[in-house]
Amino acid sequence: MRFLFTCGGTAGHINPAVAVAGRLKHLLPESQFLFVGAEGNMEEELVPREGYEIRLISVYSLHRSLAPREIAHNIAAVHKLNVSARQSRRIIEDFRPDVVIGTGGYVCYPVIRMAHKMGVPTLIHESNAVPGLTTKRLENKADVIMVGFEESRRYYKKPEKVVVTGTPVRSGFMCWEKEQAKRSLGISGPLVVTFWGSLGARRMNAIMADFIKLNYEAEAFSHIHATGNGGEGLSSMRKMLDERGVAGESERGIDIRPYIFDMPKVMAAADLIICRSGASTLSELTLIGKPAILVPYPYATNNHQEKNARVLSDRGGAVLIRDADCTAQGLFNIANEILKDPGRMKRMSEAMRELSAPGATDKIAETVLELAQKRG
Predicted confidence (pLDDT) per residue in 16-35, tens digit? 999 999 999 999 999 999 99
For residue 212, the 8-state DSSP code is H
Higher pLDDT, 156 or 302: 156
Among 55-69, 74-88, 195-209, 302-316, the minimum mean pLDDT is found in 55-69
Residue 222 and residue 161 in one domain: no
What's the CA gap between 101 and 31, in Å, rounded? 15
Regarding whether 248 and 163 lie in a shared domain, the answer is no
State residue 149's pLDDT score.
81
Tell me which of 8-12, 173-177, 270-274, 323-327 is least confident: 8-12
Whole domain around residue 315: which residue ranges?
172-354
Same domain as 370, residue 325: no
Q: Name which residue leads in pLDDT, 61 or 43.
A: 43
363, 350: one domain: no
345 lies in the same domain as 249? yes
Average pLDDT, the chain: 91
Share of the chain above pLDDT 70, in %: 93
Q: Judge if 123 and 224 occupy the same domain.
A: no
Question: What is the pLDDT, as a whole number, of residue 282?
Answer: 93
Listed in order, strand segments (DSSP E) in the chain are 2-6, 32-38, 54-57, 99-102, 122-126, 144-147, 162-164, 191-195, 222-226, 254-257, 272-275, 292-294, 318-320
Task: Provide the CATH number for the domain around residue 77.
Answer: 3.40.50.2000
C-alpha 159/C-alpha 45 separation (Å) is: 36
Residue 218 exposure: Cα atoms within 13 Å on the Cβ side:
15
Task: Map residue 319 onto helix, strand or coil.
Answer: strand
Structural Rg of the chain based on CA atoms: 21
Same domain for 92 and 176?
A: no
Position 374 confidence tier, pLDDT thresholds 50, 70, 90 = confident
Whether 10 and 155 map to the same domain: the answer is yes
Task: Examine the domain organization and report whether 178 and 227 are in the same domain.
Answer: yes
Asked if 125 and 211 sit in the same domain, the reply is no
Q: What is the mean pLDDT of residues 222-249?
A: 92
Angle at 93 between CA 88 and CA 94, to 5 degrees: 100
304: pLDDT confidence band, cut at 50, 70 and 90?
Answer: confident
Please state whether beta strands 162-164 and 144-147 pair in parallel, antiparallel, or not at all (unpaired). Answer: parallel
Q: Residue 94: pLDDT above 80?
A: yes
Name the band, by pLDDT with cuts 50, 70 and 90, for residue 232: confident
The pLDDT value recorded for residue 78 is 61
Cα–Cα distance for residue pair 110/85, rounded to 1 Å: 5
Query: Which helix or strand (DSSP H or E) is residue 80 part of?
Result: helix 68-95
- Are the CB atoms for 11 and 280 separated by under 8 Å? yes
229: left (phi over 0), alpha (psi -120 to 50) or beta: left
* The pTM of the whole model exceeds 0.75: yes
Between the CA of residue 94 and those of 3, 89, 91, what are the distances in Å? 13, 9, 5
pLDDT of residue 73: 44
Order of strands across the sheet that contains 272-275: 254-257, 222-226, 191-195, 272-275, 292-294, 318-320
Same domain? 297 vs 363: no
Total structural domains within the chain: 2
Phi, psi of 75 (to 5 degrees): -60, -45
54 and 118 in a single domain? The answer is yes
Which tens digit of pLDDT belongs to each residue from 319-352? 999 999 999 999 999 999 999 999 999 999 999 9
Instruction: Give the contacts of 38 (CB within 8 A, at least 6 positions apart).
Output: 8, 9, 56, 57, 58, 59, 105, 106, 107
